[in-house]
Chains A and B, each alone.
Chain A
């Protein structure tokens, strides 16, 4: 066993290490601890460098781009201050996109929470065929997103929509051509509802599975104890399950919000922001401005407006992760 004199925790100082009964002076970096550190940071370096270079640097670069007049065609960007941000704030389309982004995220989030909770309560019960049913119910989340959105686009077809066919036969709506035949992706209010619906369809299994993971992680003896103490089902849910799974719920909600906020494929493929801006959200606006119209600086500025929304969420998440020792 190496015996150290002096502060072993202070790097840079040399230590006397007893080797075979004789004290030898070793420089700090040759001690086992130092070797472990060097080894460890060497193993970490590729991942940290990759993520740093392709997430960290681009993030900083997007801050810079947002302050410049960079375009796709012109590599020489000039500093324009906050012009891109003020231009965005003065644009009415931008405000429509902000409003839609909030409606979309919050509305869909609430729906996913409600449906997910219901589904989780059903799936947590023991019953025959649970595994198969669970596997079927989570299909929407596991299907590649572009694939499922294309499916919905066809189901929402203005004329040959199977949804409308069914509703019409059930007598909920009239036949094709009648005034109450909904054109899901073509009427402003219905279009926003439709993109939210697809997002909810894709997201509710995720909410359910996260909740389920939380519920099954609550030790049964604690629930049993609460039962013995006379707590009824709702009390047990409210006083035992919810507080215990709160961090998981929170992480699930944060993930879902980030996925929803940053995902453009549903809107892009279903409506591309239309009709008449009714489904424009910040991601589609940033994409259409930055890439399609080529105004990189403008696009970067628009996408950065998402950050103030996401930042508090990420800070809270960070604190949740740190508080819990893993």
Chain B
């Protein structure tokens, strides 16, 4: 700390530059450790088989021409296309169930001044924290009672157990920010409670609704345990499970295709999730911040 904040603009600028430099230097290790695995997966996915197993050459770049073979393998020799369809279908139905239950619940808890609303809200949210590992054995029974074992529909039933609590909590926060006045105005104009919800509150809360859909999608994609426990038929698997179980045959790992399959779904999910990360964090910590 030689020159402290005073002095001519020249030294202030150089001080600013030094500050930037220090921050960047501090961030470099974090950046490398965070991003390198993605780079490594991408380059693996595009390398030819022989190029993967060389110990003499620098592994960070191509020594044989890049290839799309690993992606071809995925679509022609595995059920990858089915896995994607399954994943999309699961996420679609999970989002639908979540919206149909969490939107009304969030609204009721946030705005209707119900007795026990606070405790109920906390109660619903706390179920998000009950670990899947405690629930999956009894849920296996539920799934088999519904005769959904080995079908991706079992996951449609199970995933809302974590998306509903999370989205209810998130939507509560959103609904609280809608001013009461516009709802009252709508009711004076002749809307009932339900009419006010559907015609006035919901349209202005659409960012919350979209956020809930995004989280139903991405949280569904984060699961591994339930799909591993409930679905063992190849065609019925969602992508993360399919990639993790079908591209490893005994001791043989199809690394190129594994990485290709992982990236193909991983990167879009990471990007979307990243865009909504602040909402996710405020969903988790919301109660403490406000």
The answer to whether the Cβ of B100 comes within 8 Å of any Cβ in the partner chain is yes
Q: List residues of A whose CB falls within 8 A of some B CB.
A: 35-37, 39-41, 43-44, 46-48, 50-51, 54-59, 61-62, 65, 115, 118-119, 122, 125, 127-128, 133, 135-155, 157, 159-160, 162, 165, 176, 201, 205, 209-210, 213-214, 217, 247-248, 250-252, 254-255, 258, 261-265, 268-269, 282-283, 286-287, 290-291, 296, 299-300, 303-304, 306-307, 310, 314, 317-318, 320-322, 324, 326
State the Cβ distance, A56 to closest chain B Cβ, in Å.
7
User: A165 contacts which chain B residues (CB < 8 A)?
Assistant: 55, 59
What residues on B are CB-neighbors of A263 within 8 Å?
A: 225
> Are A127 and B23 within 8 A (Cβ)?
yes
Beta-carbon nearest neighbor of B54 in chain A: A160
Do residues A36 and B229 form an inter-chain contact, with CB atoms below 8 A? no
User: What are 14 contact pairs spanning A and B, CB under 8 A?
Assistant: A37-B114, A43-B108, A44-B104, A46-B104, A46-B105, A50-B164, A51-B161, A54-B160, A142-B218, A147-B240, A150-B259, A160-B52, A283-B133, A303-B131
* Chain A contact residues: helix, strand, loop or mixed: helix
Query: Is there an interface contact between A252 and B258, defined as CB atoms closer than 8 Å?
Result: no
Q: How far is the CB of B56 from chain A (nearest CB, A)?
A: 10
Whether A145 pairs with B224 at a CB distance below 8 angstroms is: yes
- Quick one: given A128-B20, A142-B270, A147-B262, are A321 and B139 in contact (CB under 8 Å)? no
Chain B interface helix/strand/loop/mixed? helix
Task: Indicate which residue in A36, A135, A210, A286 contacts B285 across the interface (CB closer than 8 Å).
Answer: A210
Contact (Cβ within 8 A) B228 A162: no
Asked if residues A147 and B139 are in contact (CB atoms below 8 Å), the reply is no
Q: Which residues does chain B contribute within 8 Å of A287, judged by CB atoms?
A: 133, 136, 225, 228-229
By a CB distance below 8 angstroms, the chain B residues around A157 are 255
In contact, B105 and A252 (Cβ under 8 angstroms): no
Considering the complex, give the chain B residue whose CB is closest to the CB of A122: B26
B142 and A58 contact, CB distance less than 8 A: yes
State whether the Cβ of B137 lies closer than 8 Å to any Cβ in chain A.
Answer: yes
Smallest distance from the beta carbon of A303 to chain B beta carbons, Å?
5
Using A44-B104, A137-B27, A320-B288 as known contacts, say yes or no to A39 and B266 having CB atoms under 8 A apart: no
Answer whether A136 and B112 are a contact pair too, CB < 8 Å, given A39-B193, A47-B105, A291-B140. Answer: no
List B106-138 residues whose CB lies under 8 Å from chain A: 107-109, 112-115, 117-118, 120, 122, 124-127, 129-138
- Chain A residues, CB < 8 A from B33: 201
Known: A55-B127, A152-B37. A142 touches B134 (CB 8 A): no
Please report the C-alpha to C-alpha distance between residue A125 and residue B18 in the assembled complex, in whole angstroms. Answer: 13
Q: Which 5 A-B pairs have the closest CB atoms?
A: A262-B131, A47-B105, A43-B104, A58-B138, A265-B224
9-residue interface stretch from B7-15, B65-73, B205-213, B276-284: B276-284
B182 at the interface (CB under 8 A from A): no
CA distance A56 to B138 in the complex (A): 11
Q: Mark B248-290, 1 if CB is under 8 A from A, else 0.
A: 0000010100110011011001110110011001101111111
CB of B244 within 8 A of CB of A146, answer: yes
CB proximity of B190 to chain A, nearest CB, Å: 16
**Complex CA–CA separation, A303 to B277 (angstroms):** 30
CB within 8 Å of A: which of B17-73?
Answer: 19-20, 23-24, 26-27, 30-31, 33-35, 37-38, 40-41, 44, 52-53, 55, 59-60
Contacts of A299 in B (CB 8 A): 137
With contact pairs A50-B164, A269-B244 given, residues A326 and B133 touching in the complex (Cβ less than 8 Å): no
Chain B, range 218-259, C-beta contacts under 8 Å to A: 218, 221-222, 224-225, 228-229, 240-241, 243-244, 253, 255, 258-259
Does B258 contact A150, Cβ atoms closer than 8 Å? yes
Residue of A nearest to B145 (CB): A75
Contacting residues, chain A, for B259 (C-beta < 8 A): 150-151, 154
In angstroms, Cα B187 to Cα A35, docked, is 14
Query: Within the complex, what minimum Cβ distance (angstroms) separates B11 from chain A?
Result: 19
Q: Are A324 and B269 in contact (CB under 8 A)?
A: no
A150 touching B129 in the complex, CB below 8 Å, given contacts A122-B26, A136-B35, A320-B288: no
Residue of B nearest to A176 (CB): B55
Q: Are B240 and A144 in contact (CB under 8 A)?
A: yes
The distance from the CB of B40 to the nearest CB of chain A, in whole angstroms, is 6
Which among B35, B41, B120 is the interface contact of A44 at CB below 8 angstroms? Answer: B120
Q: A300–B285 contact, CB under 8 A?
A: no
The distance from the CB of A264 to the nearest CB of chain B, in whole angstroms, is 6
Known: A54-B160, A160-B55. A210 touches B284 (CB 8 A): yes
A251 touches B285 (CB 8 A): yes
Are B113 and A36 in contact, with the CB atoms below 8 A? yes
Q: Which of B34, B265, B290 contacts A147 (CB 8 A)?
A: B265
CA distance A322 to B42 in the complex (A): 46
Asked if A291 and B241 sit within 8 Å, CB to CB, the answer is no
The answer for the CA separation of A95 and B13 in the assembled complex, in Å, is 60
